[in-house]
């Protein structure tokens, strides 16, 4: 069991050209981290609100997942990034996180963004409501995507399934108090679950940026501004153990 987990967050914008995103992935993922997290929809941006993205959906063994796994293997790391995955309804793909490297997995976004005037469910299919937790360098890492962050029950299910770290790739849209919502919810999920939370957002101008990493007592460990940026942070298991000793709220639950 590793005492530390080296995490790198790439707050990068995805382009409308999937080939350009694959090339950037191959060039930008380098060694030195155990876990590299890129934003939601990094394989290809959503485009204008309500756009049909079905033409850009790929299988889990398609070009983007292959490029991600190759980059992860060459850098000896694990990479998490978002893509659109072909679904049973070809007109409404899944919004999927793909994991490449020593661990290979995927997570289909459960909660679609039918909020703040948007209707993601018109263009995408929601995944089955099952938590996905993967092992990375001896740590248990749970997966969520963007709007999932507003549903505390999913984070709790991930922690109940063993997650010590929850990663949240996002393309968080701007609006009144939206940055405050994003940062507050990241911290809240960390505090209430006494776990680490890693938020990786796409930057301005289309999205808000402000990626951040929080510790299990809600302490800010790293934070980005609005533009493109890369965060480096080391998570320490001692902090997790001490937080759960100090605040044993998971053990104190009465269900």
Instruction: Give the residue numbers annotated as catalytic, written as ranges.
Output: 40, 109, 146
- In the beta sheet, which residues pair with residue 7? 35, 233
Token output for 45: 């941006």
**Type and span of the H or E element at 36:** strand 35-37
Q: Which tokens in the block code for residue 147?
A: 């709007």
How far is CA 187 from its chain centroid? 15
Q: State how far Cα 43 lies from the chain centre.
A: 13
The answer to whether the peptide bond before residue 205 is cis (omega within 30 degrees of 0) is: yes
Task: Spell out the residues 6+ positions from residue 152 whose beta carbon is closer than 8 angstroms to its own.
Answer: 188, 189, 192
């Amino acid at each position: 069991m590793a005492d530390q987990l080296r995490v790198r967050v790439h707050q990068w914008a995805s382009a409308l050209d999937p080939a350009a995103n694959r090339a950037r992935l191959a060039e930008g993922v380098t060694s030195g981290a155990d876990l590299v997290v890129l934003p939601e929809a990094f394989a290809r941006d959503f485009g204008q609100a309500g756009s049909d993205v079905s033409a850009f959906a790929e299988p889990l063994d398609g070009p983007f997942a292959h490029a991600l796994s190759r980059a992860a293997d060459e850098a000896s790391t694990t990479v998490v990034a978002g893509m659109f995955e072909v679904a049973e309804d070809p007109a409404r793909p899944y919004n999927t996180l793909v994991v490449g490297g020593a661990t290979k997995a995927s997570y289909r976004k459960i909660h679609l963004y039918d909020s703040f005037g948007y209707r993601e469910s018109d263009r995408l299919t929601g995944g089955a409501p099952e938590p996905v937790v993967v092992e990375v360098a001896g740590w248990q890492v749970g997966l969520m995507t963007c709007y999932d962050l507003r549903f505390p029950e999913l984070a709790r299910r991930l922690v109940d399934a063993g997650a010590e770290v929850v990663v949240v790739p996002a393309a968080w849209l701007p609006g009144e108090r939206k940055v405050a919502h994003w940062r507050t919810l990241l911290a809240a999920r960390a505090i209430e679950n006494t776990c680490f939370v890693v938020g990786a957002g796409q930057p301005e101008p289309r999205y808000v940026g402000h990626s951040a990493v929080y510790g299990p007592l809600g302490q800010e460990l790293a934070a980005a501004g609005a533009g493109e940026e890369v965060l480096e942070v080391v998570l320490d298991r001692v902090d997790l153990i001490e937080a759960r000793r100090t605040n044993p709220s998971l053990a104190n639950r009465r269900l």
